[in-house]
């Protein structure tokens, strides 16, 4: 592994400690931890814990899980992250989109109504695979794969998911008992009207009041950014006020359904509950990988963008290992998938969190809630949860970003819309798949069809530039100068060979006297690497050129490329004298040789 | 569509004809066709037809289809290709690897023993989807996707498949009745020994004789290349001699099983036989797409490499449309998947084929066989087919290429071995999938982690070069020059932002007096395109730099990139004066400004 190189030269016990510190940054910052930092972390920790309670309960319900699982998931994973995580800004918790994605996949295996225990165990199993997958991605340094989930894909996916989730909340807002398990817009809207006999006006009135309150605090945050904490604690206020109301008026008997029993006590161990038997295993793996990938993309992006504001670098591969360990640990202790949600992390950041200690504080508060207060949350009205989720989801629909994409890049906008409508009308999985596919194809076009250009000399400055870009650039008689501007490997070698032949054909046919072209110079400055197909391409081109009596020269190749060209005997074939430091040198040599060729016979 | 641009300016009827000629090259070469060409095409056509008969029968049996289907497939598709194909060198027919791949997928849906008619119809349906898929790839110009099937993947896949097929032929060589349907090495070897009671020594002796003969002619071809036709017709000789032998000694009663009844008559129409019902449809689609992709990769590569020898360009997208139409047409007329097999096309080329007319000749001969001679082939001994297949497959195992990969590029070698062993021990599909995945990940690394480099000035020549490559290059005090060498888009924008920040940090920390760094110059010559994420990256970098009081300059950006930088207001922000034609100009301006900054206060 590459990272061991960093520790080379240290004595064994210091090497071991350096290694531990690398994987568990708490060993780095823990010993130096100061009380002044603790004050900030305490405040931030309390704030995010106040978000964790309503969010944990809401998203667990979104996933079709018992609400207590949401609280469990806000206790163990933040502790594990505090040990292994390298970002000082993110807050750990459950997320809405991944919860719904997990639900939509795991419900294909079993419905909670049929076997609630198995359904729950599949969530733990999925979290386990998420963890293994994330850890493996980190260890094998595959973090770059996350970059292929483009911004436009994520915007569309999140927007479509948010629309879906908001529509689903009509169940809670209207106090309905019956609903659909399906997760597409048409089925959900159909269900809302199909079961309209269920509608309860009391729920709806209470819901509207909560919604207005939450939207009000959200508006306040936008106007007066330093009051962000009002908006952060407002969901907890809604839960408490709603609970009081439901308790006082016996809501469940008067059209305001409540969450129902929550037991006291910490997370039960769930290692033995993981399901590794067919046919369930494949669903758990699928759910774990896909939701894990999405969660990773969100978590890494959040860490990076908050880090950027403080000008701190986040090591994506190390973060993945932290997320992975946290999910594996979670799956052993009755937690489902967690990551660093954007909203919660932003609050943590603005509340002034200095280290991952704020996640420890969050965990301790949730622990106290689990030990002493959990049963009180039984009175939480479902409509309060619905209102909380709706407001959280509104924040995920980025109309401005979509408009920006539309203005700047139509293809990006298409990808975004495909994800948006794919998620809301087909299925979350298909929408995501199609738009990732589109992004990928677009990325691959760049790889497979690199730009090559013909260079000419600018008289004023003796520089060589692309003739298409600078029409005043003069091509040199008898010499064709081509700039190859990318790594050369299997994905583009065939294309490049054909493109080069075409340049040569054009050059030959543009001269009335075809035999004029004597030299072809490749500007190799941009060729950062080459593989066996690329080497094969050079040999083929040399063969074709020598048939036409054209001599090849290279200018400014990079060391590693020269090394491979030497070992494949290419340099030997064109002879080392024909490798130059600059185009200018190459052109001089060619001109000199041309001169000799032309004047030679006269001297005889 | 881009291609319409070519016809702009022509009057409508000529436009229509130009369009037709573009899609059906026969309209181009047909009217000019000369008798001198016909002589060559006739000879080539006869030669490839003589290969088509034994190969058609063999590969159809390999796929588990009635042998006559192999002959049908050598009649209609070559005719269609002759109309639409643009390569003058390739010969159309069925291929071994794709036949086995189709068999392995379609047998998951239904076994030929259970419902031979449905099994066959699924092959037609798969060919239909192959055709639709190939045509669509061509129309949407997705030909570049084929390049991602790297040479090393294909070498490994073909080698593994060949090993598998050779082992399977032990059934025929030993005259066995019972065998396995599975297509992995372990199951096949197990089956050979499990049913050893079936072994027939007569078959084995005849098989060894045929094998020796075929290998002998193959060896002759290597020694005396102009006698390639001996090796080309030898399979037909084996079929005829074997048939005579089986007829004379009543082989089927004496341990030499024969092919059995073949009916006279041309291809029956099979449009009505296509199966579009669940659960069969998904297998047909899967088989059609995967086998179609492999077949396409082989067909395009063959066309290109033979074209290369004559220095002709092959338009991959147009070829795909031709292959696609040929397979759609085939699926309507009782044919299964066809492409341009390497061995047959090479023979066609060496026999001197001048145009696609050789495929027409082939088709006419096969038509005559179907009309008059087909029943005679009933006596073909299975052991003859086994020997023919074994010799054909030996040619597909490229040990030299594998050794070459091992020497030149260890990663390519790994990909090749993964495909090789994956195909032979897991399944054809999984082996292919894993090694394509590996190739793809490798391609994506180049995309996601482009090389950036710090430039310094070489004193001798006033040129700026990578400091790591040229340690004598001098960095300019107060100025950091970075070369960005690739398109900038979502897949690498985040990475580049972080990499640039790291360069700046390193620069700041290497100077004792950190405030020294005043200017950062980006050499943009290699940035061939940029998307919305890339633009966002530049804005973020500018923000970070201006916080540090560092000014940004661009050198040598390309026109399309400048256009986007202008429309996103980036140029406005750094001001147009800070965009330069060359690094030299940029450095001069920075030095001039630095001079003013330093001397300024003294003058006050």
- Which letter does DSSP use for residue B474 in this model? B
C-alpha Rg value of chain B to the nearest Å: 31
Q: Does residue B424 contact residue B184 with C-beta atoms inside 8 Å?
A: yes
Report the alpha-carbon distance of residue A96 to residue A109 in Å, rounded.
21
Average pLDDT over residues B487-502: 85
Report the alpha-carbon distance of residue B405 to residue B419 in Å, rounded.
14
Chains A & B: contacts with CB separation below 8 Å: 174
What band does A3 get if pLDDT is binned at 50, 70 and 90? very low
Chain A residues within 8 A of B458 when measuring between CB atoms? 581
Q: Are residues B168 and B105 in the same domain?
A: yes
**Where does a domain end: B402, B423, B444?**
B444
**How many Å lie between the alpha carbon of A147 and the closest alpha carbon of chain B?**
5
Query: In terms of CA atoms, which chain A residue is nearest residue B565?
Result: A408
Sign of the Cα pseudo-torsion (B6, B11, B12, B18, in order):
negative
| Best CA proximity match to B99, nearest among B383, B298, B264 | B298
Higher pLDDT, A324 or B543: A324
- Asked whether residue B12 is assigned to any structural domain, the reply reads no
Mutation test of the interface with chain B: which of A298, A317, A447, choosing the one with the most B Cβ atoms within 10 A?
A447
Does residue B256 surpass a pLDDT of 60? yes
What is the token pair recorded at A331?
A: 């799956």
Question: So what's the pLDDT on residue A603?
Answer: 47
- Asked whether residue B387 is assigned to any structural domain, the reply reads yes
Chain A residues within 8 A of B439 when measuring between CB atoms? 490
Average pLDDT over residues A205-231: 88
Q: Are residues A27 and A50 in the same domain?
A: no
**Where does a domain end: A423, A444, A465?**
A444
Q: Per residue in A465-506, pLDDT tens?
A: 888 888 888 888 888 999 988 888 888 888 888 889 888 888
Question: So what's the pLDDT on residue A69?
Answer: 95
% helix, strand, coil for chain A, step of 5: 70, 5, 25
Nearest neighbour of B147 by CB, restricted to A304, A411, A495: A495
Element (H, E) at A73: none
Q: Are residues B439 and B454 in the same domain?
A: no
Question: So what's the pLDDT on residue B6?
Answer: 52
Q: At a CB cut-off of 8 Å and minimum separation 6, what does A590 contact?
A: A476, A478, A479, A518, A519, A521, A551, A553
Q: Are residues B525 and B399 in the same domain?
A: no
Question: So what's the pLDDT on residue B288?
Answer: 94
Q: At a CB cut-off of 8 Å and minimum separation 6, what does A211 contact?
A: A173, A387, A390, A391
Name residue A24's beta-bridge partners.
none
Nearest neighbour of A412 by CB, restricted to B151, B311, B531: B531
Q: Per residue in B431-452, pLDDT tens?
A: 888 888 888 887 777 777 787 7
- Asked whether residue B13 is assigned to any structural domain, the reply reads no
- Asked whether residue B24 is assigned to any structural domain, the reply reads no
**How many Å lie between the alpha carbon of B461 and the closest alpha carbon of chain A?**
9
| Best CA proximity match to A319, nearest among A141, A534, A494 | A141
Question: So what's the pLDDT on residue B326?
Answer: 96
Higher pLDDT, A218 or A442: A218
Q: Are residues A373 and A460 in the same domain?
A: no
Q: Are residues A358 and A238 in the same domain?
A: yes
Indicate yes or no: CB of A559 within 8 angstroms of CB of B408: no
Element (H, E) at A480: strand A479-484
Range of the domain at A506: 450-603
Average pLDDT over residues B308-333: 87
Mutation test of the interface with chain A: which of B144, B459, B561, choosing the one with the most A Cβ atoms within 10 A?
B144
Question: So what's the pLDDT on residue A181?
Answer: 77
| Best CA proximity match to A165, nearest among A97, A233, A252 | A97
Question: So what's the pLDDT on residue B305?
Answer: 79
CATH code of A541's domain: 3.30.750.24
ipTM above 0.85, yes or no: no
Nearest neighbour of A490 by CB, restricted to B439, B449, B582: B439
- Which letter does DSSP use for residue A378 in this model? G
Does residue B231 surpass a pLDDT of 90? no
- Asked whether residue B8 is assigned to any structural domain, the reply reads no
Q: Are residues A264 and A195 in the same domain?
A: yes
Q: Per residue in B3-17, pLDDT tens?
A: 444 556 667 778 788
| Average of per-residue pLDDT values in chain A | 86
What band does B603 get if pLDDT is binned at 50, 70 and 90? very low
- Asked whether residue B28 is assigned to any structural domain, the reply reads no
Task: Classify residue B528 by burial, with Cβ atoms within 10 Å: 0-12, 13-18, 19+.
Answer: buried
| Average of per-residue pLDDT values in chain B | 86
Question: So what's the pLDDT on residue B512?
Answer: 53
Q: What percent of chain A has pLDDT over 70?
A: 96
**Per mean pLDDT, which range of A137-146, B61-70, B362-371, B577-586 is the poorest?**
A137-146
Average pLDDT over residues A501-525: 80
Nearest neighbour of A469 by CB, restricted to B404, B446, B559: B559
Nearest neighbour of A559 by CB, restricted to B469, B525, B556: B469
Question: So what's the pLDDT on residue B212?
Answer: 92
Q: Are residues B459 and B430 in the same domain?
A: no
Question: So what's the pLDDT on residue B1?
Answer: 40
Query: In terms of CA atoms, which chain A residue is nearest residue B307?
Result: A498
Chain B residues within 8 A of A568 when measuring between CB atoms? 408
What band does A564 get if pLDDT is binned at 50, 70 and 90? confident
Indicate yes or no: CB of B490 within 8 angstroms of CB of A308: no
DSSP A81-130: HHHH---SS---B--HHHHHHHHHHHTTT--TTT-HHHHHHHHHHHHHHH
Q: Per residue in A288-347, pLDDT tens?
A: 999 998 899 888 888 887 887 776 777 788 899 999 999 999 999 999 999 999 888 988
Average pLDDT over residues B403-430: 86
Q: Are residues B284 and B420 in the same domain?
A: yes
**Where does a domain end: B419, B444, B469?**
B444
Q: At a CB cut-off of 8 Å and minimum separation 6, what does B579 contact?
A: B553, B554, B555, B557, B562, B571
Chain A residues within 8 A of B487 when measuring between CB atoms? 446
Q: In the block, which residue shows the tokens 């909203």? A: A343
**How many Å lie between the alpha carbon of B469 and the closest alpha carbon of chain A?**
7
What is the token pair recorded at A434?
A: 């199609």
Q: Does residue A74 contact residue A52 with C-beta atoms inside 8 Å?
A: yes
Does residue B183 surpass a pLDDT of 50? yes
Report the alpha-carbon distance of residue B587 to residue B593 in Å, rounded.
10
Cβ atoms within 10 Å of A15's Cβ, excluding its own: 15
Query: In terms of CA atoms, which chain A residue is nearest residue B541?
Result: A308
Chain B residues within 8 A of A465 when measuring between CB atoms? 556, 581
Q: Are residues A205 and A241 in the same domain?
A: yes
Report the alpha-carbon distance of residue A46 to residue A173 in Å, rounded.
29
End-to-end CA, chain A? 65
What band does A59 get if pLDDT is binned at 50, 70 and 90? very high
Cβ atoms within 10 Å of A171's Cβ, excluding its own: 23
Mutation test of the interface with chain B: which of A304, A444, A470, choosing the one with the most B Cβ atoms within 10 A?
A444
**How many Å lie between the alpha carbon of B492 and the closest alpha carbon of chain A?**
7
Q: Does residue B555 contact residue B583 with C-beta atoms inside 8 Å?
A: yes
Nearest neighbour of B532 by CB, restricted to A409, A443, A490: A409
Indicate yes or no: CB of B144 within 8 angstroms of CB of A449: yes
**Total number of domains constituting chain A:** 3
**How many Å lie between the alpha carbon of B214 and the closest alpha carbon of chain A?**
32
What pairing do the DSSP bridges indicate for beta strands A519-523 and A479-484? Answer: parallel
- Which letter does DSSP use for residue A355 in this model? S
**Per mean pLDDT, which range of A401-405, A500-504, B159-163, B460-464 is the poorest?**
B460-464
What band does A9 get if pLDDT is binned at 50, 70 and 90? low
Question: So what's the pLDDT on residue B155?
Answer: 87
- Asked whether residue B48 is assigned to any structural domain, the reply reads yes
Q: Per residue in A414-460, pLDDT tens?
A: 889 999 999 888 888 888 888 888 888 877 777 777 877 888 888 76
Q: Are residues A12 and A104 in the same domain?
A: no
End-to-end CA, chain B? 65
Indicate yes or no: CB of B444 within 8 angstroms of CB of A445: no
- Asked whether residue B2 is assigned to any structural domain, the reply reads no
Q: Per residue in B128-182, pLDDT tens?
A: 999 999 999 998 888 777 777 777 888 898 899 899 889 988 888 888 888 887 7
Q: Are residues A457 and A421 in the same domain?
A: no
């Amino acid at each position: 592994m590459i990272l061991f190189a960093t520790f080379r030269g240290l004595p064994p016990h210091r090497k071991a400690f350096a290694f531990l510190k690398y994987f568990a940054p708490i060993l780095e910052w823990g010993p130096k931890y100061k009380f002044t930092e603790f004050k900030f972390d305490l405040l931030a920790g309390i704030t995010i814990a106040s978000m964790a309670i309503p969010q944990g309960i809401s998203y667990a319900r979104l996933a079709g899980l018992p609400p207590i699982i949401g609280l469990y998931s806000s206790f163990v994973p933040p502790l594990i992250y505090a040990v292994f995580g390298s970002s000082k800004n993110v807050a750990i918790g459950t997320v809405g989109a991944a919860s719904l994605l997990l639900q939509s996949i795991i419900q294909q295996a079993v419905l909670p109504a049929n076997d609630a225990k198995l359904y729950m165990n599949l969530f733990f199993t999925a979290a386990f695979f998420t963890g293994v997958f994330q850890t493996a991605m980190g260890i094998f340094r595959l973090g770059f794969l996350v970059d292929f989930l483009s911004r436009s894909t994520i915007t569309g996916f999140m927007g479509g998911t948010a629309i879906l989730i908001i529509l689903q909340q009509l169940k809670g807002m209207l106090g309905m008992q019956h609903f659909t398990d399906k997760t597409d817009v048409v089925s959900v809207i159909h269900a809302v009207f199909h079961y309209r006999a269920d509608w309860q006006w009391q729920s709806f009135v209470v819901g509207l009041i909560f919604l207005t309150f939450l939207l009000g605090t959200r508006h306040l945050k936008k106007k007066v950014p330093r009051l962000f904490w009002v908006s952060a604690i407002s969901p907890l206020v809604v839960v408490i006020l709603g609970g009081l109301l439901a308790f006082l008026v016996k809501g469940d008997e008067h059209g305001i359904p409540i969450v129902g029993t929550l037991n006291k006590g910490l997370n039960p161990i769930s290692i033995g509950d993981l399901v590794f038997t067919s046919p369930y295993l494949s669903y758990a793996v699928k759910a774990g990988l896909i939701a894990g990938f999405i969660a990773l993309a969100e978590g890494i992006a959040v860490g990076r963008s908050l880090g950027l504001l403080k000008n701190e670098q986040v090591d994506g591969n190390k973060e993945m290992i932290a997320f992975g360990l946290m999910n594996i640990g979670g799956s052993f202790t009755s937690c489902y998938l967690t990551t660093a949600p954007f909203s919660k992390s932003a609050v943590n950041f603005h509340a002034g969190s200095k280290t991952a200690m704020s996640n420890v504080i969050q965990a301790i508060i949730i622990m106290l809630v689990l030990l002493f207060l959990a049963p009180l949350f039984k009175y939480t009205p479902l409509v309060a949860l619905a209102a909380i989720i709706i407001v959280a989801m509104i924040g995920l629909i980025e109309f401005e970003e979509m408009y920006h994409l539309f203005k700047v890049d139509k293809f990006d906008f298409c990808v975004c819309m495909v994800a948006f409508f794919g998620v809301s009308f087909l299925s979350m999985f298909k929408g995501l798949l199609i738009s990732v596919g589109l992004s990928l194809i677009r990325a691959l076009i760049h790889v497979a069809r690199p730009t090559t250009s013909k260079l000419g000399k600018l008289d004023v400055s003796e520089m060589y530039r692309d003739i298409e870009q600078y029409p005043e650039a003069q091509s040199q008689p008898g010499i064709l100068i081509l700039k190859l501007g990318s790594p050369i490997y299997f994905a583009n070698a065939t294309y490049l060979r054909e493109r080069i032949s075409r340049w040569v054909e054009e050059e030959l046919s543009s001269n009335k006297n075809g035999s004029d072209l004597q030299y072809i110079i490749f500007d190799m400055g941009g060729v950062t690497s080459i593989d066996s197909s690329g080497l094969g391409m050079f040999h083929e081109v040399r063969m074709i050129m020598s048939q036409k009596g054209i001599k090849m020269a290279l200018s400014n190749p990079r060391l590693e490329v020269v090394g491979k060209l030497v070992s494949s005997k290419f340099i030997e074939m064109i002879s080392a004298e024909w490798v130059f430091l600059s185009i200018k040198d190459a052109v001089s040599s060619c001109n000199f040789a041309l001169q000799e060729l032309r004047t030679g016979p006269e001297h005889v």
